[in-house]
Amino acid sequence: MAVTILIADDEPNQLELLSYNLGQSGFVVLQAMDGHDALRQIEEHHPDLVILDWMMPHMSGIELCRALRSRADTKLLPVIILSARGEEGDRTLGLDTGADDYMSKPFSPRELVSRVKALLRRSRPALMNDTLEFEDLQLFPSRMEVHRAGQMVPLGPKEFRLLSILIERPGQVFSRAQLLDLVWGHGVYVEERTVDVHLSRLRKAINKPDGRAEMPNLIRTVRGSGYALRAPH
């Protein structure tokens, strides 16, 4: 599964230069020229990391970062702020707003690529690995495959996405509303019961990979809270 990065910058030359360098490093790159377009693409494409220029028309990088941190589906989205403002107070403001990193212009594109990789290793280590494991469950992001006890488990796209979210943070409880935002997207009207339906399919698939023998349940319902991936009792 390729890692997707969105870059929002209203300077075309800078946008193309950074996009080229990140593309050469194996990332899928989305581009936006202003804050509103960046927010629309974040809602539509769910990038794994965003790079925001401070000064943009319609919505600044700082305003967009603040908006992302206020929403359940993007609260943990890694954010790097770029700015020609290099004063300590500006850097502090950017980080206090919720940015994970701050780079002052001018900077080397190679340094940006290195910082992107370092931030992904810290915040989304699962994306930098080819295999995610929990108990006897294995998920291969790049191949979009799941195995249970060595046996392949066929999953639909929504079930695969749900399992990816749960296995990235085993033990963490996700509410139905959080899973709706993370899988279907913010602002898309889907009944909460839809989450239950897809999780039921996911449970059935990974609990009976061969269609016969029932295996221990790994997806636990936490009454009144949501769902979590937990080891069987």
CATH number of the domain that residue 11 is part of = 3.40.50.2300
Confidence of residue 144 (pLDDT cuts 50, 70, 90): confident
Question: Does 215 score more than 80 pLDDT?
Answer: yes
The CA dihedral of 207, 170, 42, 176, to the nearest 10 degrees, is 60
Q: Are residues 19 and 90 in the same domain?
A: yes
Residue 1 has pLDDT above 60, yes or no: no
d(CA 63, CA 139): 36
pLDDT at position 130: 66
155 pLDDT more than 70:
yes
One domain for residues 15 and 109 = yes
Number of domains in the chain: 2
Which residue among 64, 96, 127 closes a domain? 127
- Among the candidates 104, 127, 150, a domain finishes at 127
Torsion, CA 153, CA 154, CA 157, CA 159, rounded to 10: -50
Q: Say whether both 110 and 81 belong to one domain.
A: yes
Yes or no: say if 27 and 3 are a contact pair by the CB < 8 Å rule: yes
**pLDDT tens digit sequence for 88-136:** 666 777 788 888 998 888 888 889 999 998 888 888 766 666 678 889 9
Domain of residue 214: give its range: 129-229
Residue 152 and residue 100 share a domain: no
